[in-house]
Amino acid sequence: MTAENPTPRPTRVRIAPSPTGDPHVGTAYIGLLNYLFATQRGGEFILRIEDTDRTRFHAGSEQMIFDALKWVGLTWTEGPEVGGPHGPYRQSERTEIYRKYAQILLDNGTAYKSFESEAELEEMRRQQTAAKQPPRYNGAHRHLTPEQISAYEAEGRPAVIRLKVPENTSTTFRDELRGDITFDHNNVDDQVLMKSDGFPTYHLANVVDDHLMGITDVIRAEEWISSTPKHVLLYKAFGWQAPNFWHMPLLRNIDKSKISKRKNPVSLNYYRESGYLPEALLNFLGLMGGGMAQPTEQEIVSKGLNTKEGDIFSLAEMIEKFDFKRISLGGPVFDLVKLRWLNGEYIRKQSPEAFYASLRRTILSDDYLQAVASLVHTRLETLGQFGDMTSFLFSDNVLPTDAVFLPKKRTLEETLAFVPEQITALESADWDLTSIESALKKLGEEKQWSVKENFMLLRAIITGSATSPPLVESLVVFGKARTLDRMRRFLEAQKKIRR
Ligand code: GLU
């Protein structure tokens, strides 16, 4: 074996989501690609939780990631809840490991301690911005003497550990889809590897874990390309073989911007709660990036296909036919209209029993019906009123008239400007009575909207009406993802109407 041809290793790939909120469609997209890649090569697909950024950590998010990925039909052989030979698979449980490896880099001179305070770094950035230079670490502590380091330590100054990016040179790595990519080191910052709180940054933890977990191919979204030179430098600093890198095209909104919750529901919970079939969503994600060959003109004619039918395929067919070398780098558009069409195709293909079973798992599940029933139990005179009082919890959308949603003392403009504030406040609320109430109350106090106005507007948007079962209880039952989506759709609809 030569250096250029190291021994082939059994394929091992991973996804490494960070538990920062609702599970993202991008995680399922990259998860599917990794799953296909491993399965096609008889390899392993691993799930690792990257939870070292404690400021963005969201309790409950990890479980939602597991549930959502299982819902779309993905399975992994190693991970936090299934265990495996390379655990733990949760980075917050591996901090000792990162400390040990950071020390190796300090010892071999590829990393160094830097002692600047937050205020000093802020000042550095301010001066650079004023001089119209890109803000970056200026390398001041790159060459501290052992005495200087001891003196800072004796003062009790906290330190971070930074990567010593070699000066006046560049790093080239191969991207399996794009070919060679070169980064001039003048544009690569001396990345922090260990923070002063003793937690590693993404870069160090990611490289150490990919190495220790035997990852052969890193298949991730293209937004990580600019991190890759830092990772390649880290592999070199440790003397390790780097994995192959595949950066997948980012999912995009219809307007081609990077997919974002402002323009598209991105939570997998939304798709589950609003009645998408997991097979349809998985098929749709498989279409992104163009790894599936489309039927030829000839096949379309000979098999009597409708061209669009070439877009419909199962997970088994993807395993058989998905070709990573076919992936096209133009950003795949996450087109909800197409997803809805595809979902409709899947629904129509279901047997009556399967269709009914799908309803019973979702919008007609015992849990949902019971929760809805409890909202109106004491309000009915006849059972026949149930449908009228609860239809907003079963419909796909509602559109309140101005008279219903506009508070008396507010203009249309200020009302429509307040809805995004409500969305932001609710986004960060845990979905229970107290946290929804307190998020709305806090917002109301900040923006001087009375509880009455605040609730009236929200009630109108969610229920389409000025009267409804208790609002916050209804939101809990309706679910976070659908509530937020209905609010965004309300704003979209208003924009269209007023155009
Ligand atoms: N934790 C990163 C994320 O949230 C992982 C990126 C990678 O795959 O390296 O997506």
What is the average pLDDT score of the chain?
94
**Which residues pair with residue 13 across a beta bridge?**
45
Specify if 18 maps to a domain: no
Specify if 253 maps to a domain: no
How far, in Å, from the CA of 206 to the mean position of ligand 1? 8
Minimum mean pLDDT range among 148-157, 261-270, 438-447, 470-479: 261-270
Q: What angle do CA 283, 16, 233 make, to 5 degrees?
A: 125
Domain boundary among 324, 345, 361: 361
pLDDT at 294 over 80: no
Mean pLDDT, to the nearest integer, of 320-337?
A: 92
> Looking at per-residue confidence, does 5 or 186 come out higher?
186
Q: What's the pTM value of the predicted model, to 2 decimals? A: 0.91
Contact 170, 182 (CB under 8 A): yes
Query: In terms of domains, do 293 and 343 share one?
Result: yes
Question: What CATH number has the domain bearing residue 284?
Answer: 1.10.1160.10
How far, in Å, from the CA of 456 to the mean position of ligand 1? 41
Specify if 61 maps to a domain: no
Query: In terms of domains, do 354 and 374 share one?
Result: no
Query: In terms of domains, do 385 and 308 share one?
Result: no
- Binding-site residues, ligand 1, Cβ < 6 A: 16-18, 50, 202, 206, 220, 224
Question: pLDDT class for 204, splitting at 50, 70, 90?
Answer: very high
Q: What is the pLDDT of residues 93-106, one digit of tens each?
A: 999 999 999 999 99
Q: Work out which ligand 1 atom sits closest to the CA atom of 219.
A: 8
pLDDT at 326 over 50: yes
Question: What CATH number has the domain bearing residue 473?
Answer: 1.10.10.350
Domain of 194, in residue numbers: 95-248
Specify if 23 maps to a domain: no
Query: In terms of domains, do 316 and 336 share one?
Result: yes
pLDDT at 309 over 80: no
Domain count, the chain: 3
Question: pLDDT class for 305, splitting at 50, 70, 90?
Answer: low
Question: pLDDT class for 295, splitting at 50, 70, 90?
Answer: low
Contact 33, 65 (CB under 8 A): no
Q: What percent of the chain has pLDDT over 70?
A: 97
Which of 12, 13, 18 has most ligand 1 atoms within 8 Å of CB, for mutation? Answer: 18
Question: What CATH number has the domain bearing residue 182?
Answer: 3.40.50.620
Query: In terms of domains, do 209 and 315 share one?
Result: no
Rounded CA-CA distance 238/226 in Å is 20
How far, in Å, from the CA of 447 to the mean position of ligand 1? 36
Please say if 441 is a catalytic residue. no
Specify if 346 maps to a domain: yes
Query: In terms of domains, do 390 and 471 share one?
Result: yes
Specify if 36 maps to a domain: no
Domain boundary among 361, 390, 408: 361
Q: What is the pLDDT of residue 3?
A: 53
Query: In terms of domains, do 350 and 374 share one?
Result: no
Query: In terms of domains, do 403 and 298 share one?
Result: no
Specify if 66 maps to a domain: no
Which of 202, 216, 245 has most ligand 1 atoms within 8 Å of CB, for mutation? Answer: 202
Rounded CA-CA distance 483/427 in Å is 10
Query: In terms of domains, do 102 and 234 share one?
Result: yes
Query: In terms of domains, do 134 and 206 share one?
Result: yes
Q: What is the pLDDT of residue 1?
A: 45
Query: In terms of domains, do 452 and 351 share one?
Result: no
Specify if 133 maps to a domain: yes
pLDDT at 2 over 60: no
pLDDT at 338 over 50: yes
How would you write the chain as a 3-class SS string? CCCCCCCCCCCEEEECCCCCCCCEHHHHHHHHHHHHHHHHCCCEEEECECCCCCCCCCCCHHHHHHHHHHHHCCCCCEECCCECCCCCCEHHHCHHHHHHHHHHHHHCCCEEEECCCHHHHHHHHHHHHHCCCCCCCCCCCCCCCHHHHHHHHHCCCCCEEEECCCCCCEEEEEECCCEEEEEEHHHCCCCEEECCCCCECHHHHHHHHHHHCCCCEEEEEHHHHHHHHHHHHHHHHHCCCCCEEEEECCCECCCCCECCCCCCCCEHHHHHHCCCCHHHHHHHHHHCCCCCCCCCHHHHHHCCCCHHHHHCCCHHHHHHHCCHHHCCCCCCECCHHHHHHHHHHHHHHCCHHHHHHHHHHCCCCHHHHHHHHHHHHHHCCCHHHHHHHHHHHCCCCCCCCHHHHCCCCCCHHHHHHHHHHHHHHHHCCCCCHHHHHHHHHHHHHHHCCCHHHHHHHHHHHHHCCCCCCCHHHHHHHHCHHHHHHHHHHHHHHHHHHHC
Nearest CA, atom 3, ligand 1: 17
Question: pLDDT class for 307, splitting at 50, 70, 90?
Answer: low
Q: What is the pLDDT of residues 439-497, one digit of tens each?
A: 999 999 999 999 999 999 999 999 999 999 999 999 999 999 999 999 999 999 999 98
Domain boundary among 361, 376, 408: 361
Query: In terms of domains, do 102 and 221 share one?
Result: yes
Q: Work out which ligand 1 atom sits closest to the CA atom of 18.
A: 4
